[in-house]
Structure 1
Amino acid sequence: MSVLGTVTTVLAGMVFGLAIAAPPGPMNAVIAEESVLRGWLSGVWAGLGAMAADACFFVLALVGVVAIVERVPAIRGAAFAVGGLLMLYFAYDAARGANDDHEAATGERRGFAKAFALAITNPYQVVFWLTIGVGMLEPGRIDVLEPLSSELAGTLVVATGSPALLVGFFAGIAAWVVGFPTTLVAAERRLTGVGSTVAYASALVLAGFGVAFLGEALAMLGSLV
């Protein structure tokens, strides 16, 4: 691959990483909560926690370990249950923190553990790395913008099978991990009440996903009885 081709592939991977990282979900809810309640660095640490879980899933998917989660319904159901309970607990924590003007910056890295725990118990991330994630290293093609919007499907299709695509993918996630907390902290400084609003919104998102995950767990485990 030429230098220009490598650069293009890395940039395409960055766009793909941003497209995966940007949509609303439990990970971004934790990043938002940490950013507005404990500061920019705490938000970045939370993002790095989710990113570390992705890196773990990628390695485990390559060696075939995470495939067990997909094959064994009992393990998937247990993962959904643990993930759902964690999300409900962190939803309560976010709502409680929203009542404080600002929590102490002690334990800035606690967001890393929170996001990592949520991500590592998320079966949807397992499925992603079993399919699209590992597929980035296999020869083929991938629609970069489709995860962001179905209307953008087919706009940017790149060849897979190059490590450069994976490097760009994680670089895109890293850019979001830094940029999202930066935007939130800047908004909080300019507008009063943003911190509490974001924290309460994060609590609602986490609670919603928590209930949904517990519902999935009950359905899966109930079918085994």
Structure 2
Amino acid sequence: MLSYIPNPLIIPVGLIVGMLIAAPVGPVNVLCIQRAIERGFWGGIAAGIGSVTGDALIALCAGLGVGSISGVVETHRAVIQVVGGIALVAFGMRLYFSAPRLKLDTDGSSARLKDFVWDIPQTFFLTITNPGAVLGLFAVFGGISTFVEVYSTIDVLLLVAAIASGSMLWWVALSNLIGRYRHHIDLRMLNRINRIAGLLLAIFGAVLIAEVIWKAGRF
């Protein structure tokens, strides 16, 4: 009976790890922040859900001992990295050249999560096509397993849920903070933000592609 009771330390550790995973600035984070600035709280939440879902899927594979996933990523890393790099460059260029659209509820209507649901698969795709993030999350999960006892499937599922919850708490807090102050941003400032975010995304993607080309040239 006791084997079905999960380790209670898993929850706080998973929450902290989830926040730490979501906090560093990376390509997906840049896109999520841009969405929150342009579209408000629910825009940021929608983008965050895609990122969190991708991280949760990777963590679940790591927790269930699906080592073949890690092996596949390592074997086909170059292809995955090029695909992810091209996607980042495309997203970045599209964002850079698109006209700024600051969505404010000036007409009395209120935005909902369903209004921005298309952002979820976009950030999900960018998350799972980043081989560095995938392998890094496998390593992080392995480190957690040595720090906190994770034996049963229930422990694994609880840890994945805690990590996802921690990441989601980060995006809720950040989107709420941005939503409180975004009304001070005008279209000119948003255009600058979009261009900076677009350039960062394109640079991230170009670096991924360049790394593959450079490694290929060494062999």
Category of TM-score, reference length = shorter chain:
0.7 to 0.9
Identity over aligned residues, as a percent? 23
Shift of 1:24: 0.8
State how far apart, in whole Å, the 2-side matches of 1:26 and 1:213 are: 11
Counterpart for residue 10 of structure 1: 11
Unaligned runs of 5+ in 2: 105-110
State how far apart, in whole Å, the 1-side matches of 2:81 and 2:136 are: 15
Counterpart for residue 33 of structure 1: 34
Counterpart for residue 153 of structure 1: none
- Give yes or no for contact 1:43–1:111 (8 Å, CA) kept in 2: no
Instruction: Tell me the matched-pair count.
Output: 199
- With the length of structure 2 as denominator, give the TM-score of the two structures: 0.77
- Give yes or no for contact 1:18–1:173 (8 Å, CA) kept in 2: yes
Deviations 1:175-201 (A, max 9, x none): 012122222222211344553343233
Give 4+ residue runs of structure 1 displaced > 6 Å after superposition. Answer: 103-106
State how far apart, in whole Å, the 2-side matches of 1:103 and 1:185 are: 11
SS at match of 2:116: coil
Deviations 1:36-79 (A, max 9, x none): 2233212211111111111222233332232223542xx11111
Counterpart for residue 57 of structure 2: 56
Q: CA RMSD in A?
A: 2.8
Match of 1:188 among 160, 182, 189: 182
- Higher RCO (C-alpha 8 Å, min separation 6): 2
State how far apart, in whole Å, the 1-side matches of 2:175 and 2:199 are: 19
State how far apart, in whole Å, the 2-side matches of 1:10 and 1:179 are: 19
- With the length of structure 1 as denominator, give the TM-score of the two structures: 0.76
State how far apart, in whole Å, the 2-side matches of 1:130 and 1:28 are: 19
**Superposition map of 1:107-122 within 5 A:** 108-122=116-130
Cα 1:45/1:34, change in 2 over 3 Å: same
Query: 1:41 is matched by which residue type in structure 2?
Result: W
Q: 1:179 aligned to 2:179?
A: no
State how far apart, in whole Å, the 2-side matches of 1:59 and 1:12 are: 16
Q: 1:100 aligned to 2:100?
A: yes
Unaligned runs of 5+ in 1: 142-158
The structure richer in helix per residue is 2
